[in-house]
Amino acid sequence: MGTAMPQMEQLKKNMKASWMAGDFGQIAKYNEEEAAQFINRLEIRSGADVLDVACGTGNTAIPAAREGANVIGVDIATNLLEQARARAASEGLKAEFREGDAEALPFGAAEFDAVISMFGAMFAPRPALVVTELTRVCRVDGFIAMANWTPTGFVGKNFAINARYLPPPENVEAPVLWGKEEVVAERFSKVGWKVKSTRRNLEFKYPFAAAEVVKLFREYFGPTKVAFSRLDPAGQQGLGSDLEKLWAEHNEGSADETFVKAEYLEVIARKA
């Protein structure tokens, strides 16, 4: 028991370093359209207090701010926050970005009308703490909205390939469990919240072939960049080949472009 906390602290440090590696903004820009649609479906009112947890470079915070909401975004990766601030400033939007952890949000109880997280809070290692924090900072008449990759969708398959080469930490629940309806419902029910879940697709669209997509992620997506750096040359070749094959097999575009549908679970939680 005495070693559990130091191990968790090290895990969190490794996660932060992983997300800060590369340049996530180069990846996130391809997902902006779906993020805007996600926010649009929430019908966030002007003047609402909105918290974006694990906000990254602002893909969901920015469109929420465009709706006139008072937005605060938090993330563990400081370089992503810098990009989010620059994006908001370029549009003259009212949005604040702070360093913060989904498992220990730096806010008081019931401060927000809406708490959102798109492909973010699902990666925190302790789901029970995430649920406790998301519900704690949300007002009783507000809602929590998450977008979580599913285990059986394209991104879930991508994670599975990575795990074959670099096994994930022991005793940590897989992030994609957040993409299972029954798991999410059970997690929120433990704190008296009910969930409505809908399966949706994010469309990855790249104007180049699968091999170039893998190169893009290898250079700019922190977790992928770190994964390759930890493998020997044979492992790097194997991982690259398997990822390229996955993209190619799911490609619905032409040979010189990549169009892949990636399933995620849209989760809306409200106080029961």
Question: Which residues are registered as beta bridge partners of 270?
Answer: 194
Task: State the Cα–Cα distance between residues 172 and 36, nearest whole angstrom.
Answer: 31
Which pLDDT score is estimated for 7?
86
As given in the structure block, the two tokens for residue 93 are: 């939007």
Provide the b/e sequence for 135-147 (b: ≥16 CB within 10 Å).
Answer: bebbeeebbbbbb
* Strand-pair partners of 138: 112
DSSP H/E element including 225: helix 222-229
Residue 254 has pLDDT above 70, yes or no: yes
Residues 6+ apart with CB under 8 A from 206: 30, 212, 213, 216, 257, 258, 259
Q: How many CB atoms lie within 10 A of CB 114?
A: 23
Q: What is the pLDDT of residue 169?
A: 85
Q: What pLDDT score does 4 carry?
A: 63
Superfamily in which the 4-203+263-271 domain is placed by CATH: Vaccinia Virus protein VP39 (3.40.50.150)
pTM attached to this predicted model: 0.94
Section 214-232 average pLDDT:
95
Lowest average pLDDT, out of 6-20, 144-158, 223-237, goes to 6-20
* Percentage of the chain exceeding pLDDT 70: 98
Q: What is the pLDDT of residue 171?
A: 84
Section 3-23 average pLDDT: 86
Q: Kindly list the distances between the CA atom of residue 251 and the CA atoms of 240, 258, 263, in Å, as whole numbers in the listed order.
A: 16, 6, 14
Strands (E) located in the chain: 49-53, 70-75, 95-99, 112-118, 138-149, 193-206, 258-271
Tens-digit pLDDT profile for residues 152-174: 999 999 999 999 999 988 888 99
Q: Give residue 16's pLDDT band: very low, low, confident or very high (50, 70, 90).
A: very high
In this predicted structure, the answer to whether residue 1 has a pLDDT above a threshold of 70 is no
Q: How much of the chain is helix, strand and coil, in % rounded to 5?
A: 50, 25, 25
The model's confidence at residue 176, banded by pLDDT at 50, 70 and 90, is very high
Whole-number pLDDT of residue 21: 94
Computed over every residue of the chain, the mean pLDDT equals: 95
Please give the Cα distance from 63 to 33 (Å, whole number). 10
Assign 19 a pLDDT band (cuts: 50, 70, 90): very high
**Tokens 């949000």 -> residue:** 105
Whether 52 contacts 61, CB under 8 Å:
yes
Between the CA of residue 262 and those of 4, 199, 205, what are the distances in Å? 35, 10, 11
Domain positions in the chain are 4-203+263-271
Sign of CA pseudo-dihedral 24, 25, 30, 33: positive
**Structure-token pair, residue 130:** 């995430």
pLDDT value of position 94:
87
- Window from 1-5, 94-98, 116-120, 136-140 with minimum mean pLDDT: 1-5
Q: How many CB atoms within 10 Å of residue 252?
A: 11
How does pLDDT run across 54-86, given as a tens digit for each residue? 999 999 999 999 999 999 999 999 999 999 999
DSSP 162-186: HHHHSPPPTT---GGGGGSHHHHHH
